[in-house]
Structure 1
Amino acid sequence: MKFIIFFLGISTFCFSQKISFIYETKSKLNSEKADDVYSEKMILDLKNNTSIFRDLQDKQSDSVKLNNGNGRYKMGVENQFYIKKNLTQKKIEKVLTYLGTDYLLPIEEILNWKISSEQKMIGKYKSQKAEANYGGRNWIAWFTTELPFSDGPYVFSGLPGLIVSIQDSNNEYSFNLVEVKKGGNIFDARTKTVKIDWKKYESLAKSYFNDPYDINTKLAMGKIVTFTGPNGIAMDISVKTKEMQKSILQENNPIELNHKINYK
């Protein structure tokens, strides 16, 4: 009994502190190209059983917003990784920013973890294997009880320790812990949101595909739309639109594969 009380005391103490986890995130946006891998650093900020997962540039942008700045402008809709979690309530929400509006997409898919007895060292942490299905993909995770937080990158959480490494079985997406920062700050600049579902998400993505440079809106407002290439020569905006649409079709390998959009 003393051991249980002692362990609970440590867990409560850890959860009451602010702590940040830096992950290296890799994604293969074109599943047919082995070398088409995009890499970026993302941060999981955790305090009092609530967390925010976002890329480092998003965190910097949110800080600017809180100080009455404009923040970061995002063009697309797909593969935004901004996730808010309430671990106590087991609530997971995905936040998407499109044309200056923050959209809130509740994640209702349940993670049913199957914990294996297999263990290995991940960095300096003794870790244990677990698997679950999410977004039409099978995920292999490694968690450690040495970091007693039932959380992890992106939507992944619910294991008896922090997820230090996770990737899908197709090796198209991976998240790997690279740094732990105690006393990190956590703040939310995206509290005014419009709630949507996956159907509305698809509608937004198709709207972007059809008009990636938001030309129609600008024309309706009486604004002149021009595009200047790297050589300083003005180009037909419709040419750039077709180039962007081609890129979207080639990189149509979303992390939620079961919500892949058919643009044609």
Structure 2
Amino acid sequence: MKSLKKLIILPVILLGLIASAQETANRFFYELTYKPKKDSARLDKVMTTLDIAKDKSIYQDFTLPAQDSIIKSAVEEMEKTKTFKDMSKMIKWPKFSYKIYKAYPAMTEMYVDRISRNLFAYEETLKFDWKILTDKEKIGTYNTQKATTEFGGRKWTAWFSTDIPFQDGPYKFYGLPGLIVKIEDDQKNYSWLLSGNKTVKDWKEFTYAEEVNAKYGMSNEKKIIAKDKFEKSYAAFKQDPMAEARTQIPQNMLSMKMPGSDLTIGEMLKNQEKMLNDFFKSTDNPIEVVQVTDKKKK
């Protein structure tokens, strides 16, 4: 499932951040090559990351986190000048906006995404039926070994390295005796390749942009609900992504201009609605073509 979490930037961002606990994490960069449209041969690429901290890992599209310094600079300028800056024209938006949390050591998984202004999640207990083969291959600087599994209606081939002592991998994949270096389905709809890693000191779960947005109305508190309820709510959000916003903004405010801008509030909402609709229409080829139920099966 592809989804959206950070495409609505608050029109006015004031001072202050929510402080959060900091720690050190290992960040692994995976280049994801994927086919957004199932009836097209076109491939897209996006950088994703797997952050492995003390008690959990977090997988996500790295497009927005990589621009945190740009966002911070823009926010500080808005605060200083008291004017609105249309960040949609200066920021590259993510291809995927969900996060996958894995809790160590149980490896309970949590799929997290934003539905309108709130952060929702559902939990899963997945068990991958890996078949570890004798094939070995050098991928970049990594010594790897081959393994296969089936998941989400697709057949997957993975290459893992016991030189990296984490039994984890991109997206929901985990459970091999070493970090997954490469994994792809047999039709090459989705292919992840480990392209680098670094140690992140003072690591935080949320980015600067997420912390600022949370300060002013977009909660970062995860509301865990049943998977079927999550999917139903998300489907409704895709059908009308600005439904909640329309109920919260009085009609007489729509013609008001944003501070220091010729753009009205109504025009800003229409721009955001188009951006969200374009996002949702950008793919019809999900990673999981068959949804997996939480019954400890593959």
Separation in 2, partners of 1:163, 1:222: 51
The answer to whether the aligner puts 1:196 opposite 2:225 as a matched pair is: yes
Task: Pick which of 39-48 and 190-199 moved more.
Answer: 190-199
Secondary structure of the residue aligned to 2:120 is strand
Post-superposition offset of 1:219: 5.0
Residues 45 and 184 of structure 1 are in contact (CA less than 8 Å); yes or no, is this contact kept in structure 2?
Answer: no
Post-superposition offset of 1:58: 4.6
CA deviation digits over 1:38-60, x for unaligned, max 9? 22111111133521112224546
The answer to whether the aligner puts 1:18 opposite 2:25 as a matched pair is: yes
Gap regions ≥5 residues in structure 1: 1-15, 227-231
Task: Pick which of 152-161 and 38-47 moved more.
Answer: 38-47
With CA pairs under 8 Å and 6+ residues apart, which has the higher RCO, 1 or 2? 2
Secondary structure of the residue aligned to 1:257 is coil
Matched residue, 1:138: 155
Q: 1:167 aligns with which of 173, 184, 200?
A: 184
Task: Pick which of 90-99 and 178-187 moved more.
Answer: 178-187
Separation in 1, partners of 2:62, 2:283: 22
The answer to whether the aligner puts 1:150 opposite 2:167 as a matched pair is: yes
Matched residue, 2:286: 254
Matched residue, 1:218: 246
Separation in 1, partners of 2:41, 2:47: 21
Aligned positions, number: 229
Separation in 1, partners of 2:36, 2:226: 23
Change (3 A) 1:49 1:209: closer
Change (3 A) 1:185 1:46: farther
Q: 1:42 aligns with which of 38, 41, 48?
A: 48
Matched residue, 1:9: none
Matched residue, 2:139: 122
Secondary structure of the residue aligned to 2:284 is coil
CA deviation digits over 1:211-252, x for unaligned, max 9? 13x1574156434669xxxxx9x99x99x9799768846722
Separation in 2, partners of 1:79, 1:253: 12
Instruction: Show the 5 A alignment for 1:62-81.
Output: 79-81=96-98
Relative to the length of structure 2, the TM-score reads 0.64
Change (3 A) 1:247 1:54: closer
Post-superposition offset of 1:123: 0.8
CA deviation digits over 1:135-182, x for unaligned, max 9? 222211100011111111111111111101111122111111111113
Residues 128 and 144 of structure 1 are in contact (CA less than 8 Å); yes or no, is this contact kept in structure 2?
Answer: yes
Matched residue, 2:34: 27
Residues 49 and 87 of structure 1 are in contact (CA less than 8 Å); yes or no, is this contact kept in structure 2?
Answer: yes
Change (3 A) 1:215 1:116: same
Separation in 1, partners of 2:248, 2:114: 22
Identity of aligned residues (%): 28
Task: Pick which of 160-169 and 82-91 moved more.
Answer: 82-91
